[in-house]
Amino acid sequence: MRVFTIARFFPRLNSHSVKAIRRFQTTASPLNSSETQTKYDTSKHRQRLVILGTGWGSYSVLKHIDKKLFDVIVISPRNHFLFTPLLCSTTVGTLEFRSIIEPIRNTGFRDEHHFQLAEAISLSPDEHTVVCRSILNNEEYLLKYDKLVIGVGAVSNTFGVPGVNENAFFLKEVADARMIRNQILKNFELAMQPDVTEDEQKRLLQFVIVGGGPTGVEFGAELYDFVKQDVTRLYVHERSKVSVTLIEARQILPSFDAKLRDFAERKMKQREQFRLVQSSVTEVHKDHVKLQHGTIMPCGLVVWSTGLAPRPFTASVDLPKNNNNQLVVDEFLRVKDSDGSIFAIGDCSFIEAHPYPCTAQVAEREGSYVAKSLGLLAQGKTSELQPFSWKNIGMLAYLGDYQGLADFPTSKLQGFKSWILWRSVYFTKLGSWRLRFQVPFDWMRTFIWGRDISQF
């Protein structure tokens, strides 16, 4: 009787296990099978739409696509969407990791729509097939598509600087933020050991950030807040030895208004334990970085955030690319020379007629546009297709110490009001009500009790 009551009020529980079983009944075939191009069983004869990636662009396609018109298959090495504007906040415990991720399976999946934890490794446009490799067992298999959306994003650009891959941390994924957070806490604990010299303490607590874009600036801001608000009460004797250094060869926040950049620089230079160094890094070692003119800077942590580079899949596919190995697309976001069946969006794409910046804002708009275009094509309404267009609605950045920047087309704001706006805008942009509850709760928890420095 009790089971019947629960199923009555929570019908999803009654069918959850059945749906899970159906999702695991994949019909994509191994490479050595004679049925390598067998489609998913679709009684309604919908086209198969394969989406590569779960970033801003791909997630936007998934949210806006008319799932009655397509059998949707999502291929990605991660099973969640990451709200990247707040990723830096997780590196020091201002927010918890799960507060900024949304599981892909929560995004309107039906029995006939599938997610596969895998990565695309090659593409055959002529045969309309993608070779995928499972993240779980490394097995490769072919997947046939009718329409393909490539939204695999990009990776951090090392510019060939020796030692970056081996000794620096990147900040693109939740796993990166977790490693950075653990390393920061580990360094503070190492500095507390009785046999550690003062010079070694200073090295361990010297945190270097390479790259003055939004990610580098906001990570520096979060680290500064952690030092000012938590280190002073938790690591009293080590506070004077902590230093945060931001290294940028040119100017910080280059996409922002000049007056806002100047305000950001002034704020950083006024801070006691924050340094802004104008130089380039030529080598990264385990315990130091080497700067342009031979200067050696000892450090305990290096976070590398300098531009974007293509993923191996993007660089390897036999499709038109620009000098940065981004896929060249037309005004309808269709990859050139691909018979109109392949779309590319986000950081891995380049609109030849009208280049746009590689931002989450652009990728999200491209995703919703492609979803609408695919719907029109499926219904034979090709005459209603319009070229892609994007209008900048503004940029936000956090500077630390309750200070921010807001660069809108019609107004420029700085200071405390911009920080309030920064939090308000990102709160409204969070993808679900679960996140809209968790993020403010984390903010309140941090404000009242401070950041959690538990290491696990």
Q: Are 404 and 260 in contact (CB under 8 A)?
A: no
pTM as predicted: 0.89
Q: Which residues contact 443 (CB under 8 A, 6 or more apart)?
A: 94, 95, 423
Signed CA dihedral, 205, 206, 210, 212: sign only: positive
Please state the length of the chain.
Answer: 456
Q: Which pair of tokens denotes residue 45?
A: 């004869």
Task: Tell me the C-alpha distance between 303 and 172, whole Å.
Answer: 11
Distance separating alpha carbons of residues 134 and 330, to the nearest angstrom? 31
Close Cβ partners of 59 (under 8 Å, ≥ 6 residues apart): 81, 104, 107, 364, 367, 431
**Helices then strands (H, E): number in the chain?**
14, 24
DSSP state of 28: P
C-beta separation of 159 from 352 below 8 A: no
Closest CA to 398 of 415, 411, 385, 373: 415
Which residues, in sequence order, are CB contacts of 218 under 8 Å at separation 6+? 88, 397, 398
pLDDT in tens, the chain (456 residues): 444 443 443 444 444 444 443 443 444 555 544 344 444 444 457 899 999 999 999 999 999 999 899 999 999 999 999 999 999 999 999 999 999 999 998 886 665 568 999 999 999 999 999 999 999 999 999 999 999 999 999 999 999 999 999 999 999 999 999 999 999 999 999 999 999 999 999 999 999 999 999 999 999 999 999 999 999 899 988 889 999 999 999 999 999 999 999 999 999 999 999 999 999 999 999 999 999 989 999 999 999 999 999 999 999 999 999 999 999 999 999 999 999 999 999 999 999 888 899 999 999 999 999 999 999 999 999 999 999 999 999 999 999 999 999 999 999 999 999 999 999 999 999 989 999 999 999 999 999 999 999 887
